[in-house]
Amino acid sequence: MTTQVAEGSGSAPRSTGAILAGFVAVVVLSVGTDQVFHALKVYPPFGQPMWDPKLNLLALSYRCVYGALGSYIAGRLAPRRPMKHAMILAGIGFVLSILGTIGSVVMKVQGPLWYPISIAVTALPFGWLGGWLATRKRA
């Protein structure tokens, strides 16, 4: 007697794993790069505000790249519908960025407000870029 496995069986854990892998990549790369720049004294010491627009643009630039990379990873590891997985991850990044922006305002965090807003604004477009790259690679 043979049993038929439904198409897509086991895809929920793979979908979750793909999104989680992309998320972990973004967090590890972002925090790791921050640590390196603090250690090299490019960034001010922890706990001190970073008012220099050039440093904020530097942080924004690698966060955009890492966001696209994370969405690319999510899309490439997805069992199917890579763009959907990439955009789910981008949506998670967008929501977390909005919460971070709200937290910055409420807690009166020192630093330019445009920076956390920019992180939120760029989350979805760079997530889409990563998803688009993942779909191109698959084809």
* This model's pTM is above 0.75: yes
- How high is the pLDDT of residue 108? 84
- Is the residue at 59 inside a domain? yes
- How high is the pLDDT of residue 111? 86
Backbone angle region of 108, left / alpha / beta, with phi > 0 → left and psi within -120 to 50 → alpha = left
- How high is the pLDDT of residue 139? 59
Residue ranges of the chain whose pLDDT lies below 70: 1-10, 137-139
- How high is the pLDDT of residue 3? 42
CA distance 56 to 59: 5
Backbone angle region of 23, left / alpha / beta, with phi > 0 → left and psi within -120 to 50 → alpha = alpha
Q: Which pair of tokens denotes residue 80?
A: 């199917």
CA distance 79 to 8: 8
- Is the residue at 7 inside a domain? no
Range(s) of the domain holding residue 58: 14-138
- How high is the pLDDT of residue 103? 93
- How high is the pLDDT of residue 5? 41
Angle formed by the axes of helices 53-77 and 11-39, nearest 10°: 160
- Is the residue at 8 inside a domain? no
Task: Find the DSSP H helices in the chain.
Answer: 11-39, 53-77, 82-106, 114-138
Domain count, the chain: 1
- How high is the pLDDT of residue 4? 45
- How high is the pLDDT of residue 138? 64
